[in-house]
Chain A
Amino acid sequence: MTEVNQTKKSNTIVHPRYGCAIGAINTVAAIPRGIPIANCGPGCADKQYFMLSFSNGFQGAGYSGGGALPSTNVGENEIVFGGHKKLDDLIKSSLKIMDGDIYVVLTGCSIELIGDDVGAIVKEYQEKGYPVVHAEAAGFKGNNLTGHENVVKAIIDQYVGEYKGRKKKGLINLWFDVPYYHANWRGDSIELKRVLEGAGFKVNVLFGSESGGVSEWKEVPKAQFNLVVSPWVGLEIAKHLETKYKQPFLHVPVIPIGEEATTEFIRELVDFAGIDNKKAEAFISTEAERYYYFLEHFSEFFSEYWFGLPARFVTVGDAAYNLAITKFLTDQIGLIPTKQIITDNTPEKHRQNIQKLFHDISDEFPLDVEFIEDGYVIEEKVRNVDYGSSVPLILGSSWESDVAKEIKGLLIPISTPIVSEVVINRTYVGYHGALTLLEKIYSETVRG
């Protein structure tokens, strides 16, 4: 189709890069033996599955997501007469049919609009002692990132419950990637857990293969502190826990990638927690030695490759990955950041802060950061960047594939949606992940 001119900024979105709050079904499915129950239209959960799991590295939906997911599939009858009975039938039968430890009802737009009192239905089950939780997840109120925060808070309030006992020194609750939305979340949490344990901590990772499921969630109130590793997602959770359990939190806005950042991250944590640093330092020196063993080998390719390497790069993705990867490539590899576009609809109140974090990355190159959600505008910006004399490097989503082709650039997928690769156990963070990220970027480069 021939394109004409661009219109002024509006509400329009093409090429969406996140799902709606119902997408937080994935947050529940990411808890071992957690069962999400969607209380919305017949297609809502399916659409979020396709955005966040299928078209995002073909991750698979795991135990209780995807086709297994119970849903009220609200029809005309419920819209007219209310959906209480259907939800009640569904919860009751889910408890008998789905083999889980916690059941979380997520209510979408249609039921929210007709005003069903979902809390009352769920409360009846809670009062009988069933591990059922409800969370608001109307798509018009928020996307899958804020939905994720809401679901976590609901589980804390309605399932984990009150706690006034003692805290365990050295135990951390980790609030980090949004499960499934970050295609590497499974590998990332393995690496971050490895790093934290290596440094002498115990960690509640809460999601994915390393989580102990509901028994681990029950440990949340006992942790010494909450660790938020993200520029904004998870802060709401940490603040909530601070009030609820008098639990302090440490906010590390930049996910550590590479030896220097990860080492600094560990030292900051050890310092904050006031634990002995011997174990951490020993761990750091082993990790550092290994890291530079590999980096040294890589450096030969990097300094001697005759056939052209990318220099200027743009990033298009959520605030967390965007910030972390921009920092690593600028600060550690010496690539030139040219345009950074944040696509996750970061709440207004965090934007200035995040912009500053970007600007702090480099004195040399002024960073150009924008918050945009409309793919049409994003792709136009990526197209019009001046990439200098070398091959343009675009770290973005699969929506950038057309423009990447047009400007003969390299496209490295780092953000939702991703349909050009299958992601299983992979990470770009910490010590190990940094090397994998280099592998990925430069394999793409040599492939041409």
Chain B
Amino acid sequence: MAKREIDLSLVDVENREMRLGSIISWDGSAEELVDNSRYELRSRDKRKSLEGCSGKKEKGCRLCELNMPFNQQTMCTHSIVGCQVGNIPDCILIEHSPIGCSAIHARFNLGYKMGLARRGKKIENIQIFSTNLLENDMVFGASDKLRQTILDAHNRFSPKAIFISMSCSTAIIGEDIESVAQEMEEELEIPIIPRFCEGFRSKHWITGFDISQHGIMRQIVNKHPQKQEDLINIIALWGTDYFTEILKPLGLRVNYMIDMASFDELAQASEAAVTATFCHALGSYMATALENEYGVPQVDAGQPYGFKGTDDWLRSIAKIMGKEDIIEEYIKAEHERVLPKIEALRKKLSGIKGFVATGSSYAHGMISVIRELGIEVDGSIVFHHDPVYDSGKSEQDTLKELVDTYGNIDHFTVSKTQQFQFYNLLNRVNPDFIIIRHNGLAPLAAKIGIPAFAMGDEHFPVGYDGIIRVGEALIEILARKKFGQVLKRHVKLPYTDWWLSQEDPFILARNPGILDEVAEPQLLESLTEDASPEASIIKSA
């Protein structure tokens, strides 16, 4: 086990694909993915770990991706940065881009307001600024507009820090947001934090979490920490505060980051006694940076999902806090408390099959919870896969933990919100429901009669009570099958029969020539019904 280096002197972060060897397109069993990931090897030697794909087999990585010629819209790192550093109530994010890159703010606002309510903070609209760039700015540059918007933000709200995010267009025209940030930082005397998150830079939107965390580590986190022995950092999103209750016996106060945290709450991250997260794929970078830089230890365990996951997680925190003496009793009491309810749910849910489609290590946790409920899982999707996390800790190898504890998953697919594949993937295993985060996939499931549990509150499955919460919610979700069946009887999918008849969702990658073999889907003929003989330039051409 070896920690990866995180260099906070650099303004930018290395992309996940380079740093961790992360992938977005793969198909096989969960066991194979554990084997191919070589977590241990990668955590020891980064360079070695990236060998292999280029032909040198031996010990290197064999996580070769399946490149498809067809892609559907997904999401970019810029969105992630927006929903992270744009969600800090007393700081302002400025998106340096044309207005389209800011078109998602109303959606962010829904999550942000819900999050503020869940954390008991004042509920008010999100304030993300756009420099609203136009054609001339692309030709002549837009640094003055950026300066103006920084002043606007400062004059309107007196934020404690200002973030600036780069978009594709501003990156292409070479806007120097770093210099403007430095210059304005001197003028306004608050941290001004440039973030390079143009959507084209990484195929992993999740790189956006690292970019956000890196900026906070560099320019907000307190560099001269005064230890707070009862403070635990939980790197989270907008989830309900279940962690306070779970951690009460250990006498810990929770410091949630990054969403809805104030400047000061972020600053005190370096003062905490320990760092943990609901999802290592999301939290590992910052947890490791805090550990390396300020000696704040992070959990030596997987994630708090299911009995074993929660047990291990609590033990690890207890150990760091020097409270091993009390934890076993707590765990035992908790098991006894929840077990009767879980047994009852297992009876109700027996014979049911589920399918999970979420971000990577969160999916590992989610599958643990539903298997704990006796639900069968023989297929799932993760939107990306990290063969190793930044901590390099083998105890955090969540996929291995899942397979070791709950057994293999025959069809374990890495696919980044590609709806067209989702049809074939679901058909392969035919589940009774899906659990999902991120948009774009659930509508397809609904149209083929499979109800979706949109896991909007990511903390819902956390801890022992999380198992019960999920079980109860699933009973409600399964009832919605009726609606799906209605849709299935009456609504057509936007895919051709040829595609829907494919058994292999990755056929286009494995056999690229196949596109040439497919018969034309009637398109050419439709042109013959022209409005008039001379009606179509297409036809006459």
Which A residues are within 8 Å of any B CB, using their own CB? 1-7, 10-16, 18-23, 35, 38, 40-52, 54-56, 60-61, 63-64, 66-76, 78-79, 89-90, 92-101, 108-110, 113-114, 126-127, 129-131, 138-141, 143, 157-165, 214-215, 218-222, 373, 376, 398-399, 401-402, 417, 419
Contact = CB atoms under 8 A, between A and B. Distances in A.
**10 closest Cβ contacts across the A-B interface?**
A67-B440, A20-B100, A43-B76, A139-B100, A417-B106, A55-B106, A51-B103, A89-B69, A93-B70, A45-B73
B104 interface: yes
B157 interface: yes
Interface stretch (B199-207, B307-315, B332-340): B199-207
Nearest to A43: B76
B346 interface: no
B523 interface: yes
Interface stretch (B133-141, B361-369, B397-405, B458-466): B133-141
Interface in B161-175: 168-169, 172-173
Interface in B476-532: 492-499, 508, 515, 518, 520-521, 523-524, 526-527, 529-532
A163 B534 contact: yes
Contacts, number: 335
A158 B538 contact: yes
A26 B177 CA distance: 33
Contact of A47 (B101, B173, B443, B532): B101
Contact of B521 (A61, A99, A165): A99
Contacts of B156: 3-7, 376
A97 B100 contact: no
A90 to B, nearest CB: 6
Given A70-B71, A401-B125, A10 B200 contact: no
Contacts of A50: 103-104, 106-107
Contacts of A45: 73
A140 B98 contact: yes
Given A90-B69, A110-B200, A99 B494 contact: yes
Given A47-B102, A110-B172, 13 more contacts: A11-B149, A16-B105, A19-B99, A35-B494, A63-B492, A66-B439, A70-B73, A129-B541, A131-B538, A141-B134, A161-B540, A376-B156, A417-B106
Interface string B122-147: 00110111111111011000000100
Nearest to B89: A1
B220 to A, nearest CB: 16
A236 to B, nearest CB: 17
A162 B532 CA distance: 9
B152 interface: yes
Contacts of A40: 168
Given A79-B200, A109-B98, A127-B541, A12 B508 contact: no
A129 B100 contact: no
Given A55-B106, A67-B439, A110-B169, A139 B148 contact: no
B72 interface: yes
Interface residues of B, number: 98
Given A41-B200, A96-B515, A108-B100, A419 B124 contact: no
Contacts of A90: 69-71
Q: Which of B151, B529, B532 has the most CB of A within 10 A?
A: B532
A12 B498 contact: no
A164 B540 CA distance: 15
B131 A11 contact: yes
A14 B104 contact: no
B535 A3 contact: no
A219 B535 CA distance: 10
A55 B73 contact: no
B99 A44 contact: no
Given A140-B137, A161-B535, A16 B76 contact: no
Contact of A66 (B148, B443, B541): B443
B10 interface: no
Given A42-B199, A73-B74, A399 B125 contact: yes
B79 interface: yes
A131 B444 CA distance: 26
B188 interface: no
A141 B439 CA distance: 28
B478 to A, nearest CB: 23
Given A47-B101, A71-B74, A131-B526, A163 B133 contact: no
Nearest to B142: A11
Q: Which of A63, A66, A101, A222 has the most CB of B within 10 A?
A: A66
A263 to B, nearest CB: 33
Contacts of A95: 520-521, 523
Given A4-B155, A16-B130, A163-B532, A11 B145 contact: yes
